[in-house]
Amino acid sequence: MTRPLKVFCDFDGTITRVDGCNLIIDHCIGRDARRAIDDKIVSGELSFRQGYDAQFSGVNLTWEESLPILHGKNGIDPTFPPFVRRLAQRNIPLTILSAGIEQIIREYLGTVGLTGLDIRANRIRVENRRWRVAYFDETPFGNDKAAAVREAAAQGFRTVFIGDGISDFPVASVADILFAKRGNRLEEHCLSQGIAFHPFDDFDDVLAILQLKIGYKA
């Protein structure tokens, strides 16, 4: 009997056009400084959690001040809401599995009327304009995405993961079916490590690949 699918999807830069957290951090410390910390995470000099803390330590904004930054140059991929509806029609569970910030995720999803989705993400505390991350768990990742995917596999699901960035690296060798957004860090990682994946540009691509290459009838 074919195992049922369970879909996990990163948020920032995967569901959104660009990473909303990066927009906030870049506004405050600059893109080059943020990228330099990213490079230290990739090299192993810093854990993801340590790097994230270093980046957010430079954020000095109220939540209200962050909203024009979040919405000015970003938004939900327009192919994502139809993707969510198609999965719901097929009774395929979907979890947004993010190292980003739950409040930011809900802010974006609200713009397209997507409420009630299962979200596993960190949270942010804004106190006196300083941003502090309240992590989902105590692991070096802050939110161990691979653990969530392994748990679903142990429950009998065939797991699908859709992502783009550094926080998705641990899932790459765990998910049964992996999608990596073209031109981003996860794709580079998979290519360098010889990890099988399906490149994609949007969620229409994901549905097409699930139908044509894997046998899921979208």
Q: Which residue has the tokens 């596993």?
A: 120
Name the residue among 101, 13, 10 with its Cα closest to residue 63.
101
Buried-exposed string 56-78: b where 16+ CB fall within 10 A, e elsewhere: bebbebeeeebeebbeeebbbbe
* Extents of the domains making up the chain: 5-16+76-212
Mean pLDDT (whole number) for 73-80: 92
Neighbouring CB atoms inside 10 A of 114's CB total 18
Q: Tell me what the mean pLDDT of segment 149-160 comes to.
A: 96
Kindly indicate the confidence band of residue 3, based on its pLDDT and cuts at 50, 70 and 90: confident
What is the greatest pairwise CA distance in the chain? 55
Per-residue model confidence (pLDDT) at position 56 = 95
The pLDDT of residue 88 is 92
Top CATH class, 5-16+76-212: alpha beta
In tens, the pLDDT along 175-215 reads 999 999 999 999 999 999 999 999 999 999 999 998 865 66
